[in-house]
Amino acid sequence: MKAYPNCEAVPCEQFEGAFQAVELWLVDRAVLPIENSLGGSIHRNYDLLLRHRLHIVGEVQLAVHHCLLGLPGVRKEEIKRVISHRQALSQCEGTLTKLGVIREAVDDTAGAAQFIAQNNLYDTGAVASARAAEIYGLHILADGIQDDANNVTRFLMLARDPIIPRNDRPFKTSIMFTLEEGPGVLFKALAAFSLRNINLTKIESRPQRKRPLRVVDDCNNGVAKYFDYLFYIDFEASMADSRAQNALGHLQEFATFLRVLGSYPIDMSPIGHPAGL
């Protein structure tokens, strides 16, 4: 794979299993999808980043190239049902609609291919990669069935220990934080980066799990309930850069919680092929 080309890949059934495998020293790294150019953010992994104490040590971007897989001897016209990860199914909506098949979401693309092979499902196809077809002995019934050729997934590389941030190449830093409620607080928090000419490449908000609702009792208008949010930000600067250090120091004036998830090299390489998601 592009992230670690000489590694031994260990599959996990669930995203959380990948986090746990690193924490338990079963593997050295985990590579997990975090966002897709069509499907957007993979919110489950944002939540897991907060729940676990792993560090982001790198990123990699891969072009999505989906295939329709089936058992040997099966023709595309004989497929009645297609299984895959829900994002993969949505990314192939046009092709699957033309086929008139029933769609069923499962945990991951490779797992869908494995399920068909293990159970000899002649009327079922999988949306997965050509590599999955090779591993599980399936045939490619249709190649490149994604609706959009410019479909890219960004993955994060996670480890038990952080890497040492440097200034000799472009770095990105990912953080999570929460804020007190009040007018303009988010604006002030983001200004900590703008004032130092630091570019934000991503901002995401997630309702806080432990206290999702904030109740405001207004004697004139009754009781109002609002979501309390946790914010996730990527910005283009290394934690070895004094601008980044000062920006986070400034942010702490408004933040009720702040955690640096990782400071790591930006993926500057050509977008690789293929990826299941």
Task: Please report, in angstroms and rounded to a whole number, the separation of the first and last CA atoms in the chain.
Answer: 13
Q: What is the rounded CA–CA span in Å between residue 171 and residue 267?
A: 9
Distance between CA atoms of residues 66 and 10, nearest Å: 21
User: Distance between CA 171 and CA 191 in Å, rounded?
Assistant: 20
Q: Which of 155, 171, 235, 254 is catalytic?
A: 155
153 in catalytic set: yes
Which H/E stretch holds residue 124?
Answer: strand 124-128
Options 124, 153, 177, 231, the catalytic residue: 153
Assign 186 to helix, strand or coil: helix
Cα radius of gyration (the chain): 22
- Do the beta carbons of residue 227 and residue 213 sit within 8 Å? yes
Residues designated as active site: 153, 155
